Chains A and B, each alone.
Chain A
């Protein structure tokens, strides 16, 4: 099934991606961000905070935003 994935870590591009039916948010995060900790990110589905075992549905919009972003001078 297709969902909209907005990754604000790095490029911040929004892409439609295909995921398996019954995939949870936690599983999706581990697949897309295998070397990261979920606690370092703000994760929203359809603009709402969701539990880690939330099951993604068709056309859901998932946004992952890092809580620590380094500025510069």
Chain B
């Protein structure tokens, strides 16, 4: 199971890297979304995968999953959700104001402030 997860995470990171390196802002934002998905799955995998048990039932529970990675993922998901929403609004506003979503044209130098 860990191997499958590792491959999935790898594919997510690969797609994220490809998208982040493109020029359109929207594709970059989708890329950052995939990157954080990959990171969240990575935490889950790194906490150890077990089947058929929930996090901490009682003190006598025979088997349970480490709850900490799940708490970490929850926090990280909320943060990345908030930042992505902000980034989307900012990208739209920047598109309205600057008239382009092409990172090549957003370089900026001394003559073009």
Same assembly: no
Interface residues, chain B, with chain A CB atoms under 8 Å away = none
